[in-house]
Amino acid sequence: MAKYQRLDGESDDALIFRVCRDKERIGTWQDVSDILNPLLGTDYGESTFRKKYASFTQMFNANRDIFSNSETELEKIREEERRLQIEKVKFRDERNAWSAQNRLQARAEAKLDNIEDALLDFGRIYFPERKIPAATGSGKTILVMLSDFHIGATFDNYWGKYNSNIAEDRLGVLLKEVKEIAKRHGADQCVVSLGGDLVSGKIHRTIQVTNRENVIDQIKRAAELVTSFCYELTDSFNLVQLVSVDGNHSRIDSWKDAIHEDRLDALIPYCVNLALDHIENFYYNKEANIDSGIALIHIEDKYYLSVHGDYDRFTKDGMQSLMSMVKVFPYCILRGHEHRCAVDEVNGVKMVMTGSLCGSGDQFCIEQRIRGKASQMVCVCSNKGIEAFYPVELEVS
């Protein structure tokens, strides 16, 4: 706070007016009173100075032409008023910014406390060890692309039906298909690639309308489903590897406040590893991540680049921009986000897109006229690359 002194020959009223004029810069009227009382040798309450300043300002504004001898002096007064108004706005904006930051920090800390409790509960789940299936030596790996579960979204209408229980049923159908595909091709290893948006989150109004579980429960439920899915695979494969990237629905805050790395999707593979780390033929490969939204997976001597897809268009230009960004020329690029299975190729690089577990029927899909069946992509990989694509449809009656 600036230090104020009485000027030579300055009257009490002049001193009061000069200090009160800087009130917005000083703080509260009590702060003004704390400055003036020692200078005046008084013990007035803050209301005394506030009322004096209000009266003086009112009289001055009513008689400013009399008090001012010239247009030049009037302009000086107006300029000073503008300066004071600017200071008021700056002070108000600074105060609002601090308040907003404090609210965000308090909200984030509350969320983190709840998440910590949820993780501790999840860590108590125990999955018994199993006998590791013998390796066949086939050199075949099943790639399971899991993306866009949107756990928490709930709807039942003309276009579709979905909730967490239906998500579990559909993963059961997918698990059976994966095991049959592996048996058909003699594959003895499996890579489960989590492509993000496993939780529905709260990123815009239409998502909030269809959510029936809070975000913490969404994380727990998604983690339970992925953990059970991976655990069941360890009974059929010599090695099950988990790789994960984050999606756009799991932002902790709205898009304009969110930090790139702060995505709740990252907690799901952490929970899975927490529960399955003791399983000898399960491996969470977090070293595959270039950052939270990009992973580089090594499958049978070839590199696969995995992203969610919200930053990367499924086009020639979009994929070339991604490769230029990461300085990698992969065999294949994996992505989700668009809720449909698709395969394409650009300049010798395969592009594989997986679908969603929820299909269509939520308010956002209805308003955007988006229609599609629940599906996930399964690929059979060898040292030659992808030998077969299986877009598995998952509608359960």
Q: Is residue 288 part of a domain?
A: yes
| Mean pLDDT, all residues of the chain | 83
pLDDT at residue 78 tops 80: no
**In angstroms, rounded to a whole number, what is the distance separating the alpha carbons of residues 231 and 34?**
69
Q: Is residue 195 part of a domain?
A: yes
**How many structural domains comprise the chain?**
1
Stretch 69-86: mean pLDDT, rounded? 71
183 is a domain residue: yes
Structural domain contains residue 18: no
In a domain, 345, yes or no: yes
Burial class (CB in 10 A: 0-12, 13-18, 19+), 254: exposed
Determine the structural domain holding residue 225 and report its residue range.
Answer: 137-393
Answer yes or no: is 55 within a domain: no
Task: Confirm whether 52 is domain-assigned.
Answer: no
d(CA 215, CA 217): 5
Tokens of 52: 């004096």
Give the CATH number of the domain where residue 303 resides. 3.60.21.10
Based on its alpha-carbon atoms, the radius of gyration of the chain, rounded to whole angstroms, reads 32
Strand, helix or coil for residue 191:
strand
User: What pLDDT is recorded for position 235?
Assistant: 95
Select from 292, 291, 293, 191 the least CA-distant residue to 233: 191
The pLDDT, as a whole number, for residue 110 is 55
Q: Give residue-wise pLDDT tens across range 364-388.
A: 677 777 777 899 999 999 999 999 9
* Long-range Cβ contacts of 229-232 (<8 Å, 24+ apart): 229/146, 229/171, 229/174, 229/175, 229/192, 230/192, 230/272, 230/276, 230/282, 231/127, 231/275, 231/276, 231/279, 231/282, 232/175
Mean pLDDT of 253-259: 47
Residues 6+ away with beta carbon under 8 Å from 394: 170, 173, 174, 357, 373, 374, 375, 376
Spell 263-277 as b/e; 16+ CB within 10 A means b: bbbbbbbebbbbbbe
* Whole-number Cα distances in Å, 382 to 111, 137, 243, 339: 43, 11, 18, 26
Question: pLDDT tens for residues 108-134?
Answer: 555 555 565 656 566 556 788 888 988
Phi, psi of 384 (to 5 degrees): -90, -15
In a domain, 143, yes or no: yes
Of the chain, the percentage scoring pLDDT greater than 70 comes to 81
